[in-house]
Every structure is written in C-alpha cells, then in structure tokens.
Amino acid sequence: MTNVTCECDDDNAPYAFMQDKEPFERLEPGESFDETVLFASGSPSKFVITTHWLGADGEEHSRDNIITW
C-alpha cells in the first residue's frame, strides 16, 4: 500500500484528530500506523476512521474502522 491517509467521521469526531504523519508513503500488508487523537469531556466514545490507500494495482481503496474507547 502506498500514499496511506485516514479521515475521521466529522459528525462524530473526537475533540482533535492530528494527522501530522500523513501520508504514509508505504505500508506492507499487515502493518499498522498510529495517529494522535485527543478527547475532551463530551467527546463521543465511538467514531469511524476511514483509511484510504493506493494498491499495487494503482487503484484507490478504502476501509471504514469503528473506533471505541
């Protein structure tokens, strides 16, 4: 995977979602990445992060991940 980025569900976003490491130039299958998320009183305990990447085929792919804390 190349050019890996992610975005947060704006309707249910935590207080702050920092993406200062993006885009990740390359991730091998099975690798993961960390991003900094700050929560404040009233932040939702469940939200969606969508990860986007370019596959080996050059096509854009995405996946929704439900995050709870």
Task: Count how many domains the chain has.
Answer: 1
End-to-end, the C-alpha distance of the chain in Å comes to 27
Residues 6+ apart with CB under 8 A from 53: 1, 2, 3, 4, 5, 27, 60, 61, 62
Q: What is the pTM of this model?
A: 0.76
- Which residues form the domain of 33? 2-68
Span 10-63, pLDDT tens digits: 666 656 667 778 888 998 888 888 887 777 777 778 888 899 999 989 999 999
How is the beta sheet containing 2-8 ordered, strand by strand?
24-26, 2-8, 46-54, 60-68
